[in-house]
Structure 1
Amino acid sequence: MTRPLSRLGIALVLAATAALATTACSPASPTEAAPTESTVPSGNATSPAPSPTPTSSEAAPPADDATCETIIPAETVADFEELGWTSQVEPFILGGTELEGGIQCKWGELEAATDHIQMFGWAPVTPDQAIAAEEQLVADGWMREESPEGIYVTESADTAIYTDDEGYGWTYLFGDGWVKFADTKQSILLVEWPQA
């Protein structure tokens, strides 16, 4: 299993996240998007029955132009490259199924076989795929939370190797025809695809 960023890398990601939060055009700030029931996920948390956020009957179109350099802010890419980090493209796997048109990126000193990495992803997803994935993840002990941005599903803090400041590890965000992924909930704010 891989581990995310060093403290320097975390500081860079958090700084980029803060910059995004202050310039974002969305009406909700990151603090407003935080769950009201619990700020730290627990393997014992009960989750409401899934109710799909997507309203369309199909997934978003494939991300033909999505690359590891375009799904996150250019400033973050520049920060990673300044650290000597490179990216590696992987298929977007959700619940054991590869989502066509999706992309998952691993950033780090990949030539050095380090476990200090950062992961981001985006994929088109149908409402049926989203509901099935949410149900499976919750059955596996993940926590599901509804928010204005969509539905967050995050791994249990009890089993996460690494968590952000609020106790969130690997996290998916399900929206209208798409799903985003990052290795923490705070980092998922950096996934800016598709571009408006």
Structure 2
Amino acid sequence: MRTRYPLAVGVLLTSLMLASCGADAAQPQSPPTSPAAEPAAPPPTTVADDPQKEPTPQPDAELTCDTIVSDGIVEALTSQGWTSVQEEFHIGETIVDDGLMCMWADFTTASDHGQMYAWGAIDDAKADAAMAGLTRDGWLRSTQDAHTYFTEDPAYAIATDADGFGMTYEFGDGWVKFADTKQGLLLIDVKR
């Protein structure tokens, strides 16, 4: 069984990795673009526009760290004395406007444990941009049950699950999830 590094190291490394996704001048991956040069995203497709496509799922309740995982998970985490910190959901340089990233841990003391969960509604254009960035940055892509997964290279993972997967994004139809392990994605249960 692998041990986790201290939570602060994990958060710092994750922040540095996400911050450096598009800013590393020593290894240019693609020509930089300015926000003005990016093509405008098409308007969201509604069911009336395309009867074959389901509408983007919207949660029943406001997105909070208590609503993106099941009540049982919230109870299990809080019973350990853990609390959550809520942040904007980023996938590299792509911001998931209708999303939320949550870090759960015991922030009152130095700890080597913590969990990250994120969920957000995302349109096709932003999903394509996020997936292109993950591919460019060396994340490993796989597909299962019509969902697309991007997992960090296990050689660089801070922590992995029983199957050897570290931080993982899951893209579905109109939504994206993130957890610090692939198995952790199963705990995200947004009511929609």
Bigger Cα displacement from structure 2, 164-173 vs 114-123? 114-123
The separation in 2 between residues aligned to 1:108 and 1:150, in whole angstroms, is 29
The separation in 2 between residues aligned to 1:155 and 1:146, in whole angstroms, is 15
Q: How many residue pairs end up in the alignment? A: 145
**Per-residue deviation, residues 74-114 of structure 1 (Å, max 9, x unmatched):** 11111111110001111101122321121111000012243
Q: Which residue of 2 aligns with 1:99?
A: 96
**Per-residue deviation, residues 37-77 of structure 1 (Å, max 9, x unmatched):** xxxxxxxxxxxxxxxxx985985447861211111111111
Question: Aligned pair 1:168/2:176, yes or no?
Answer: no
8 Å contact kept, 1:63–1:123: no
Counterpart code for 2:10: T
Q: What SS does structure 2 have at the residue aligned with 1:69? A: coil
Q: Which residue of 2 aligns with 1:13?
A: none
Q: Which residue of 2 aligns with 1:2?
A: 10
Structure number with bigger Rg: 2
8 Å contact kept, 2:154–2:160: yes
The separation in 1 between residues aligned to 2:59 and 2:74, in whole angstroms, is 22
The separation in 2 between residues aligned to 1:95 and 1:117, in whole angstroms, is 21
8 Å contact kept, 2:123–2:174: yes
8 Å contact kept, 2:94–2:130: no
Q: Percent identity at matched positions?
A: 40
Q: Which residue of 1 aligns with 2:132?
A: 135
Q: Which residue of 1 aligns with 2:68?
A: 71
Q: Output aligned runs, 1:78-93, within 5 Å.
A: 78-93=75-90
Aligned to 1:186, which of 169, 173, 183?
Answer: 183
| Structure 2, unpaired ranges of 5+ | 1-8, 12-44, 46-51
Q: Which residue of 2 aligns with 1:14?
A: none
The TM-score normalised by the length of structure 2 is 0.68
Counterpart code for 2:71: A
Q: Which aligned runs of 4 or more in structure 1 are off by greater than 6 angstroms?
A: none
Aligned to 1:145, which of 121, 142, 147?
Answer: 142
8 Å contact kept, 2:165–2:182: yes
Counterpart code for 2:95: E
Counterpart code for 2:181: T
8 Å contact kept, 2:98–2:122: no
**Structure with more relative contact order (C-alpha pairs < 8 Å, separation 6 or more):** 1
